[in-house]
Amino acid sequence: MAEYLHRGTRAIQRMVEYAPSTGGLALWVRHENLPPGEDATPVATDGNTIFYGGGFERLALPAQVGLVAHEVLHIALRHPQRLRDLGSLVGDVDVQLFNICADAIVNSTLGHLAWLTLPPTAVHLEKLLAVALSISQPVEKSLLEWDVERLYRAIDDRRIGARGGSGRQSRHQRGGGDGASQDGGGRPNSEQSLEEARRQGAREDGPRSAQVRALGADMARDLRPGSDSKIAPEREAEEARAWSERIVRAHAGDGAHSMLRTLIADVPHARTPWEQVLRVQLAHSLAPQPGISWSRPARSWIANQGRSASGRRLPFTPGFSASKVVPRLVLIVDVSGSIEDQLMQRFAREIEAISRRLEAALVLIIGDDQVRSVQRFEPGRSDLAGIEFHGGGGTDFTPLLEEAGRHTPDVVVVLTDLDGPAKLRPRWPVIWAVPESCAEAVAPFGRKLTLS
């Protein structure tokens, strides 16, 4: 196959022949042949590229098409990126279990096509639901109800070993890692004894996890989460939005011949990053507004010398002058809450950048059930990185909001867990910035912004 650019060329041609629109999704994907020694699996993906091993060439064409279509849908549905994102939210994600869940959704999505074949060991969503969750329903209904995150959370019942640990792991041990020290996110590998794994807080399979792991034991792990943590959240959201639109358009274009059995629940949904929402909201509230100046006529009035084209005298038209007032942002930090250091640093950098760019003065109010500290900063001179969250204690937002009102703010941002009363409803806009763990809390008024 030296005449082809990569080993999957013939399979893609077949996909485009039978399903021009959904098969054409493969043309948005990068393709790369793996060199000898790195090609243990026929195909794999990191969410952007499909990697072809040497064994891929030895497969029959329908089997090649099945594998390429499988990987294309992994990329279109952004499964590797969502594996990484889920790890950042819940801490400990079992890569193998997540891979089986993602494979089950993709295999059931492709299962209606006669012009490709899936591996005989392929796990389908309807079988996984029946075995692990005792749910028996048509595949179309399952695809409309289950996304990969919901499916993973439903089957992940792993627990801490009988004689080990508290379940809390250090930050370098958590997340959707590459499995270098553990096989499948918690089971000890050949170099690690069970006792050592228990001491380190490793998790052991519960009944559902064990059943799913056994169900997918013969499947190759084809998701490689990679390390895309440096990609800007705005770019991540834009890519998710682009793939969602491509899937919808392609499915509509192919109709009954679509590679997608139905518009599945697992289609990626773009979520605007909280940084972007915060920037837009604060920019709208803090941007200097021009004021009317009755001592200065408008330029159009001067240009016409105060008269109309017929020579009649025009009424005086006031001009505009730049606002002399420096916009003021008040930041209230509820120190009774608990926010991770990394999230606090991101939030602090964002607030500092916004106040510097908009030349806004910043008033920092720290408190819980009463005001503990008030600090004032000139535009661009704030230093929020050193704020300490002590945790515990009660909160009453009333005295904190009363103190904010004394500084005539243009907008107030409250960094909190929303656990406390607010008896004062101010006239100025309020943004409640809460961590992901408090996303379900209800704000008493204003706008709630979830920091994730």
| pLDDT computed for residue 259 by the predictor | 92
Each residue of 309-368: pLDDT tens digit?
788 888 888 777 665 567 888 998 888 766 666 667 777 777 888 787 777 888 989 888
- CA distances (Å), origin 329, targets 115, 153, 200, 377, 405: 61, 40, 45, 10, 11
Confirm if 206 and 197 have CB atoms less than 8 A apart: no
Residue 413 Cα distances to 61, 299, 425, angstroms? 59, 39, 14
Q: Which two tokens stand for residue 378?
A: 């000139």
3-class SS at 71? helix
| Separation of alpha carbons 452 and 227, rounded Å | 18
The residues of the chain scoring below 50 in pLDDT are 1-2, 162-195, 197-199
The fold of 328-451 is: Rossmann fold (3.40.50)
Q: Which amino acid is at 343?
A: L
- Predicted local confidence at residue 169, as pLDDT: 38
Structure-token pair, residue 419? 């656990």
**Angle CA 66–68–69, to nearest 5:** 65
Phi first, then psi: give them for residue 227, nearest 5 degrees: -135, 85
Alpha carbons 83 and 225: distance in angstroms, whole number: 7
Q: Cβ neighbours of residue 209 under 8 Å, at least 6 residues apart?
A: 94, 97, 155, 156, 157, 158
Query: What's the CA dihedral at 293, 299, 300, 304 to 10 degrees?
Result: 110
Length of the chain: 452
Look at residue 328 in the predicted model and tell me its pLDDT: 86
For CA atoms 397, 403, 407, 408, the dihedral sign is positive
C-alpha torsion 115→119→120→126, nearest 10: -80
Question: Could you give the angle at which helices 95-110 and 79-90 cross, rounded to 10 degrees?
Answer: 140
Task: Please state the domain extents for the chain.
Answer: 9-158+205-257, 291-321, 328-451
DSSP secondary structure code for residue 379 in this structure: T
- Report how far Cα 452 is from the mean position of its chain's Cα atoms: 8
pLDDT at 391: 53
pLDDT tens digits, 402-426? 999 999 898 999 988 888 899 989 9
Beta strand segments in 268-338, E: 291-297, 318-321, 328-334
Specify the residue for token string 């991540």: 236
**Could you tell me which of 390, 400, 330, 392 has the C-alpha nearest to residue 370?**
400
Distance CA 175, CA 13 (A): 38
Residues 428, 412 contacting (CB under 8 angstroms): yes
Token pair for residue 271?
A: 């979520």
